[in-house]
Amino acid sequence: MGPLGRPVHDILHIDGAYGEGGGQILRTAVSLAAVKGQPIRIENIRARRRNPGLAAQHLTAVRAVGAICEAEIDGDTLASTELSFAPGGPVRPGIYVFDVAEAREGGSAGSTSLVLQALLLPLALADGPSSAVVRGGTHVRWSPSFHYARDVWLPALGRLGVAAELSLARWGWYPVGQGEIRAEITGRAGPLSAIDIRAPGRLRRVAGRAVAANLPAHIAQRMADRARTMLAAEDIESQIRPRRVRAACAGAGLFLVAEYEHIHAGFTALGERGKPAERVAEEAVAELLDHHRSHAAVDPHLGDQLIVPAAFAAGESRFTVAAATGHMTTMAWLVDRFGLAHVEIDETTVRIRPNA
């Protein structure tokens, strides 16, 4: 017998060190395990990171997905590098609340959007509607901001048939967090829809928010002014609004959305002590312009997030990217390990062929 009393041959073993070797393998693996009802064991969790093992946001994601399918979990402790996860039944739609701060003494600004990424697909494929509240960091490094999740990620998933709405109740910045996002998710019966997005279409405009939390209003204004100036030099229409907000701690950032005819692309830069507001704007705009000049449909942060839901579609999906990323090749490997789909990444074109 293996972990959690299951026969060893029934457990799918996942090497958490594969590919990019970060938290994405863990979050996606437990998400897919919940959808498929598949017991898994993950080893070498976040082996390629400076601090391997489960951090607060990863622990929260595991427990959150466990809660929606009544999973038996072994190894769900901070810094654990091995985890067993066995769903206790089908995913249950319902009302859920999760707080990243509860996973670590002293709290955490761990990413709310990454926890939501683990929850969304299982709840979207469940047989009824759900509401999920996630508390923690809403605009923090190494994760999609709330605005990226709402304005880029969810619309793209909507093309696949995932129906969800996202709202921001409180802003949460590093290092305190204490932000809150709320998701309303409509479950569906049957497979998702295939997508074909090989060209972004015409760039209609760039919309954005320059935000300063608990900081002088001129910081947000300077980010907005610099971004508008840079985009105007490229003959790109923009509407970037400066905004000063309240939060549990100071923070600043610029959140841009390039609105193309067929898809949105998102770009973020965050402020930090000693970093001029103008430099924050320059970082976000430079990334946007790089993407725009590539003529790819999907931005560098979205490609891996489309592979997994496309594996549940009725038919082949395809989209273009500027270049394959480590996260994309890792997701291609993982959906193959679960027997869901074959993913072909041919230079700038990604094809996902579901097995069922």
Residue 159 token pair: 């093309």
58, 139, 292, 327: which is the annotated catalytic residue?
327
Q: What is the pLDDT of residues 165-180, one digit of tens each?
A: 999 999 999 999 999 9
pLDDT tens profile 42-94? 999 998 888 899 999 999 999 999 999 999 999 999 999 999 999 999 999 99
262-284 pLDDT, tens digit each: 999 999 999 999 999 999 999 99
Angle (CA) 92 95 98, round 5°: 100
What are the structural domains of the chain?
3-189 (3.65.10.20), 200-294 (3.30.360.20), 299-356 (no CATH)
Nearest to 81 by CA among 101, 62, 95, 106: 62
Q: What pLDDT, on the 0 to 100 scale, is given for residue 356?
A: 73
Query: What share of the chain in percent tops pLDDT 70?
Result: 97
With cut-offs at 50, 70 and 90, classify the pLDDT of residue 294. Answer: very high
pLDDT exceeds 80 at position 208: yes
Buried b (16+ CB within 10 A) or exposed e, 91-105: bbbeebebbbbebee
Distant-in-sequence, close-in-space partners of 317: CB < 8 Å, separation ≥ 6:
160, 194, 195, 196, 306, 310, 351, 352
Does 327 qualify as catalytic in the annotation?
Answer: yes
Residue 1: predicted pLDDT: 43
